[in-house]
């Protein structure tokens, strides 16, 4: 029998504040319910998101790759599978993530400031960074840090 206490899963949220500046902070998914994913399937802890259309892309960032200042193309979940990468937001916060770490990129609608718009990202270390990116066809929010809890 599992521990009756629902788990939590940390994630980084890259978001746009009310002034159009990208920021990031760590939050946790906490709405887990112990249930099966279908009839006859053993129960497990699930935190279901609202239904939406989504596209999945598997990405390999080469060693030394840098994505100059840009916004996420749409709200998207990014899970690092191997290697490491960094994300720096307009507020100056830089976070490095590795295997098993999760980020929700939602920095659409930023306003250019000091040559920055959106975020800067790139690989860290001597190996490529592999990821699974799930882009959601949903409207981005503004000034809602940690929108998933």
In the chain, where are the structural domains located? 9-136
CATH for the stretch 9-136: 2.60.120.10
17-64: per-residue pLDDT in tens?
Answer: 999 999 999 999 999 999 998 899 999 999 999 889 999 999 999 999
- Residues 62-70 have a mean pLDDT of 98
Strands (E), the chain: 9-16, 22-29, 33-35, 44-46, 54-61, 66-70, 76-82, 84-89, 94-97, 102-106, 119-124, 129-136
149 has pLDDT over 90 = no
Question: 99 pLDDT band (50/70/90 cuts)?
Answer: very high
């Amino acid at each position: 029998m599992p521990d009756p206490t629902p788990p939590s899963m940390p994630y980084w949220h890259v978001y746009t504040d009310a002034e159009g500046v990208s920021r990031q902070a760590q939050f946790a998914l906490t709405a887990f319910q112990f249930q099966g994913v279908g009839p006859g399937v053993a129960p497990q802890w699930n935190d279901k998101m609202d239904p939406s259309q989504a596209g999945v892309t598997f990405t390999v960032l080469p060693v030394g790759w840098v994505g100059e200042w840009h916004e996420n193309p749409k709200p998207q979940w990014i899970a690092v599978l191997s290697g490491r990468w960094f994300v720096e937001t307009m507020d100056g916060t830089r976070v490095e993530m590795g295997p098993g770490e999760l980020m929700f990129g939602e920095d659409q609608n930023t306003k250019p400031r000091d040559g920055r718009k959106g975020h800067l990202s790139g690989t860290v270390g001597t190996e490529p960074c592999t990821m699974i990116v799930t882009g959601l066809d949903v409207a981005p929010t503004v000034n809602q840090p940690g929108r998933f809890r």
